[in-house]
């Protein structure tokens, strides 16, 4: 009997890595803005619920995001969890619920260095 594979590691490309770095940079700014304006978290909880109810999130992703949002009162933990560079969090950031936090101008400045 062959051993069962528990996880398939997918090869990453330079383009994939570059995209993940851009997404991480955006999330660093999002975390800073959410910590500076924690009242915005209510909108994020609402977006999380909407996506979950619409079937756009698996239950595990819903629980993961919910547990992260619950840490907003612990800035170091919140930041560490959102910016975790593990495979799972990279995947969650690619389909982030943390939208509408940065303005388009802020996004452009972060991604392209344009002021």
Residue 78: CB atoms within 10 A of its CB come to 20
pLDDT tens for 21-77 read: 999 999 999 999 999 999 999 999 999 999 999 999 999 999 999 999 999 999 999
Q: What's the CA gap between 3 and 69, in Å, rounded?
A: 38
Helical pair 14-36 and 104-112, crossing angle rounded to 10 deg: 140
Query: Cα–Cα distance between 13 and 21 in angstroms, integer?
Result: 12
Q: What is the pTM of this model?
A: 0.84
In what helix (H) or strand (E) does residue 55 lie, and over which residues does it extend? none
Residue for token pair 């570059």: 18
């Amino acid at each position: 009997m062959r051993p069962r594979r528990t996880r398939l590691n997918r090869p990453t490309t330079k383009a994939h890595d570059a995209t993940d770095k851009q997404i991480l940079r955006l999330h660093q700014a999002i975390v800073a803005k959410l910590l500076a304006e924690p009242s915005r978290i209510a909108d994020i909880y609402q977006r999380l619920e909407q996506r979950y109810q619409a079937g756009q999130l698996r239950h595990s992703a819903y629980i993961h995001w919910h547990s992260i949002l619950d840490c907003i009162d612990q800035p170091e933990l919140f930041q560490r969890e959102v910016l975790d560079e593990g495979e799972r969090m990279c995947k969650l950031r690619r389909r982030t619920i943390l939208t509408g936090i940065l303005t388009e101008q802020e996004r452009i400045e972060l991604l392209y260095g344009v002021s």
